[in-house]
Amino acid sequence: MNESGERIVVGVDGSPSSHQALRWAARQARLTGASLQVITCWEFPTSLSWLPPNPSDFDALRRDAKRTLEQTVADVLGDDPGILIDLTVVEGQAARGLLEAARGASLLVVGSRGHGEFTGLLLGSVSERCVTHAPCPVTVVRDVGDHGGGDPSYKTIL
């Protein structure tokens, strides 16, 4: 736990929007003294084969997800972000994993669009589901590329 007892949850999927969300959430954690729980979710791709998956496939996917999460946090926040960070890898659908992690959190932070098929939408399906069902306030951070420069724009839904 941290001094304030507050916890901010942020979802990261490798997209530019999630990188902006991570930067924003880390800055908010520094300002409020909160800890930061950085979550990535993964699912076994069912389109790979009609054969049942091998357990080693799950282990490899889990390891890859963890390695990618660690690298993303290091790339985005550097080696010493100055806040308490918990890295969490969740097997399952992204919105469900984020909503479960948000229980007891002071804030959930998500990007506006991730790696979904409909990248032209203003609000992605995961962020829309989080805004609709979260047990805490949600901040949706738009990527800098969404509006042309400077700091990312954001909207907090209480």
Q: For residue 102, is pLDDT > 60?
A: yes
* Portion of the chain with pLDDT greater than 70, in percent: 72
As a whole number, the mean pLDDT across the chain is: 82
> Which CATH architecture best describes the domain 7-157?
3-Layer(aba) Sandwich (3.40)
First and final CA of the chain: distance in angstroms?
A: 24
d(CA 80, CA 70): 13
pLDDT bracket for residue 151 (50, 70, 90): low
User: What's the pTM?
Assistant: 0.81
Instruction: Domain ranges for the chain, please list them.
Output: 7-157
Give me the mean pLDDT over the 21-39 stretch.
96
* Angle CA 14–103–3, to nearest 5: 90
Give the residues across from 108 on adjacent strands. 9, 138
Q: For residue 53, is pLDDT > 80?
A: no
